[in-house]
Amino acid sequence: MLKIEAVTKSFGGVRALANVDLSCESGEILGLIGPNGAGKSSLVNAISGVIKLDEGSVKLGGQNIAGHGAEFCARAGVARTFQNIRLFKELTVRQNIEVALITCAKVRPHIASKINIDTLLEEYNLLHFSDVPAGTLAYGNQRRLEIARALALGPKLLLLDEPAAGMNEAESEVLTVAIENIRRNVGCATIVIDHDLQFINKLCDRLCVMDQGRVIKSGDRTEVWADARVIEVYTGRPIEN
């Protein structure tokens, strides 16, 4: 579904992404991890059209969406959340979902007709907050609303940038179940960035580890955490075979 090839991006003299290759299939949950400054958010911004690449391609369902901007990428089926929550805080919870659904109906009416707002709100434990201004919700509820709103776009690809940030263990457990349900109910490809490795390990089918703008290892969890380069990145110490 998603195939990234040789993606490169520099900001001034700083190479944020260097020849990144990555793929994610429909129904797969891919964990994108690495230390601060590894290039994870830059990659998500490149996929969603927030930043323009210097080189490389980003293909979604065979269509190259690189270089076309965020609106084009959204119309092509990319939906995302942000590290810093970006809700319409003055609008109610329901209205936040309605805005996304109206957008979906304009460009993908066959998908929008299958999306039910009440079902989405119930799935994310937000139905009883329907008429509450989004900005007054507790932090964990705002995180879940942002995901629900993204799903109202009927995405082919869902990008979640630190969805568990600031959550306690119980909230992370609820979020894990909610994201796993995306596979069953929506079937889109999902990429999750998070620093909570327990959350990532429990949730994701496959991991992709970045450091200094490059992918240093990609594979299943056992394979990734046995890799010497990954161990060095996370411990700061090289290991000997």
pLDDT beyond 70 at 181: yes
DSSP sequence for 133-199: BGGGS-HHHHHHHHHHHHHTT--SEEEEESTTTT--HHHHHHHHHHHHHHHHHT--EEEEE-S-HHH
**Bridge partner list, 32:** 193, 208
To the nearest 10°, report the CA torsion of 160, 164, 166, 171: 140
Q: How far apart are CA 6 and CA 56, in angstroms?
A: 5
Looking at residue 236, the DSSP 8-state letter turns out to be S
Confidence bin at 238 (pLDDT 50/70/90):
low
What's residue 240's pLDDT?
56
157, 78 contact by CB (below 8 A):
yes
User: How many CB atoms are located within 10 Å of the residue 128 CB?
Assistant: 10
215 or 115, higher pLDDT: 215
| pLDDT, tens only, 131-143 | 999 999 988 889 8
For the chain, count helices (H), then strands (E): 10, 10
* Helix (H) / strand (E) containing 30: strand 29-33
Looking at residue 127, the DSSP 8-state letter turns out to be G
| Residue 61 phi, psi (nearest 5) | 60, 30
Among left, alpha and beta (phi > 0; psi -120 to 50; other), residue 133 is: beta
Which amino acid belongs to residue 97?
Answer: I
| pLDDT, tens only, 3-40 | 999 999 999 888 999 999 999 999 999 999 999 889 99
CA-nearest of 61, 69, 54, 51 to 19 is 54
Domains with residue ranges and CATH for the chain? 1-77+203-241 (3.40.50.300)
Q: How far, in Å, are 67, 186, 187, 219 from residue 80 at the CA level?
A: 17, 14, 15, 23
Average pLDDT, integer, range 219-225: 92
Tokens 């609820």 correspond to 174
pLDDT beyond 80 at 208: yes
